[in-house]
Structure 1
Amino acid sequence: MTQPLLKSARLRTLGMSAEIATRLRTLIEEGELPPGARIDERAFCELFDVSKTPLREALKVLVAEGLVLHRQYIGYRVAPLDLEELRSTFELLHGLEATAGELAASRLSEVAMARLERKHQAMLEAHAAGRRTEYFRINQEIHQLIIDGAANPVLANIYATLMSKVHRARGAANADMLRWQESHEEHEVIMQALRESGRPRLAQVLRWHSENTANEVLTVVARSLSEPAQTKKDAKGNQ
């Protein structure tokens, strides 16, 4: 085989692996692949209709990003979450949400408000139809629109950095049906605050929602981290 053909085959593999990495990253961040979950290479090769080579190239990218762990003879697993880091990150996010609310109260344009109304309606439809992943994605888009409405690029950059640390934890918590309903109800309150003249409650409501989300996320993560230890303890007690 000539060198150009080898190069062409390599480029196709790299392009394929990049797409697979994107799809796996989405599954991890939206909670479809929870922390600690084993990544079955054969199953994902069948799912994506690819060989192991591009799949493993994609997994190497996710290992470098810290989303996936690899151990020789054990294979690939979704990286666990750090409870203390999450707790500290949320403490900062509460303040950013409130600050964004204060700024957006006067800076949010009519065009942006119209987009928020459309997104909110789409989220309601996803909730009614039971489309959890779509609901979660639109939920995040609504928060981003409010952040953008604050018109402060420094705040937006810090927010994006912090959100990248908690995004997949939020996805895992969003799998909880009770929290899904609570989040839906809280977003109705947020929209009410956005529609009010002068939006005097917006900052307070956004902080309240952020704190409620954090409480649920931290509870779910703490439970997931304690389950293996508890299972091991129970197994030992049954011997």
Structure 2
Amino acid sequence: MSVTQALPKTARLRTLGMSAEIAARMRTMIQEGELPPGVRIDEKAFCEAFDVSKTPLREALKILVSEGLVLHRQYIGYRVAPLDLDELRATFETLHGLEAHAGELVAQRMSDGALAKIERRHQAMIDAHAAGKRTDYFRINQEIHQLIVDSAANAVLSGIYATLMSKVHRARGAANADMLRWQESHEEHEAIVEALREPGRPRLARILREHSENTAREVLRVVEASLAEPNVAPR
């Protein structure tokens, strides 16, 4: 019987609720690059950071292990799961084509309402960039990409794109921590919005593909480097 199972029911519910909250916070840290692939998870440091005992922390880690985000080895401990570079390369290659195809369809099908919504989110992204809010910027960036693809009015394309983007989300978060690429990505998004506003949108497909290729290049570079990073503690 585990320690959690041995607790009274009310105490166990509190522990499980706390574990879910910790898991959610750590999941975000992993997906957005604050905890890079391959890094060791220092249980003592995380217990201190979250002000919890080891029991809810380990329950949270079990959740993340079940999701494939964390690995556990007896006597060694927990580590953020590494990323499969070959799978990432193949996924990005497919995304490049989807971005370009979406651009071709969007050029014909985007509604004024869809463009207005993208422009509003783009302004929110500019504000996040000006304020140095990297995490907010990254979330809005991802949202804008999906909004553009959704504007192609092709449900199959939108679904495939969302599925593949979920596979590279964690890797994109790691790359977004690079400040130089952050600025470059910001400039590329400005070019995308300009292309969306053009009559007929003749440059859109090309610009979307180039942006995807630039992102992939940086993501793969950062992921390879992150595998050799030293252990980190939560902030």
Query: 1:227: Cα distance to partner?
Result: 6.8
Query: 1:139: Cα distance to partner?
Result: 0.7
Please name the residue that 1:215 is paired with: 217
Among 120, 132, 137, the residue aligned to 2:134: 132
Please name the residue that 1:46 is paired with: 48
Give runs of aligned pairs for residues 183-194 of structure 1, distance below 5 A. Answer: 183-194=185-196
Quote the Cα distance in structure 2 between the aligned partners of 1:107 and 1:19.
41
Q: Is the 8 A contact 2:39 2:227 kept in 1?
A: no
Query: 1:105: Cα distance to partner?
Result: 2.0
Q: Deviations over 1:81-109 (max 9, x none)?
A: 11111101100000111122122223222
Quote the Cα distance in structure 2 between the aligned partners of 1:44 and 1:156.
37
Quote the Cα distance in structure 2 between the aligned partners of 1:61 and 1:155.
31
The AA in structure 2 aligned to 1:112 is A
Q: Is the 8 A contact 2:40 2:80 kept in 1?
A: yes
Between the two proteins, the alignment pairs up a number of residues equal to: 225
Query: 1:165: Cα distance to partner?
Result: 1.4
Match status 1:179 vs 2:181: yes
Q: Is the 8 A contact 2:36 2:226 kept in 1?
A: no
The AA in structure 2 aligned to 1:83 is L
Quote the Cα distance in structure 2 between the aligned partners of 1:172 and 1:117.
26
SS in 1 for 2:163: helix
Q: Is the 8 A contact 2:70 2:79 kept in 1?
A: yes
Quote the Cα distance in structure 2 between the aligned partners of 1:195 and 1:41.
50
Q: Deviations over 1:98-140 (max 9, x none)?
A: 1221222232222221121111111112112221111111111
Query: 1:226: Cα distance to partner?
Result: 6.0
The AA in structure 1 aligned to 2:30 is I
The AA in structure 2 aligned to 1:102 is E
Please name the residue that 2:38 is paired with: 36
Please name the residue that 2:4 is paired with: none
Match status 1:100 vs 2:102: yes
The AA in structure 2 aligned to 1:212 is N
The AA in structure 1 aligned to 2:179 is M
Query: 1:193: Cα distance to partner?
Result: 0.6
Higher normalized helix content (fraction of residues) = 1
Quote the Cα distance in structure 2 between the aligned partners of 1:182 and 1:15.
40
Please name the residue that 1:22 is paired with: 24
Quote the Cα distance in structure 2 between the aligned partners of 1:49 and 1:205.
46
TM-score (norm 1): 0.88
Match status 1:84 vs 2:106: no
SS in 1 for 2:8: helix
SS in 2 for 1:33: coil
Q: CA RMSD in A?
A: 1.9
Aligned-residue sequence identity (percent) comes to 80
Quote the Cα distance in structure 1 between the aligned partners of 2:42 and 2:214.
34
TM-score (norm 2): 0.89
Quote the Cα distance in structure 1 between the aligned partners of 2:219 and 2:200.
31
The higher-RCO structure (CA 8 Å, 6+ apart) is: 2
Q: 1:209 to 1:35 in 2, by over 3 A?
A: same
SS in 2 for 1:70: strand
Query: 1:7: Cα distance to partner?
Result: 2.9
The AA in structure 2 aligned to 1:219 is R
Give runs of aligned pairs for residues 196-211 of structure 1, distance below 5 A. Answer: 196-211=198-213
Please name the residue that 2:3 is paired with: none
SS in 2 for 1:77: strand
Unmatched segments (≥5 aa) in structure 1: 229-239
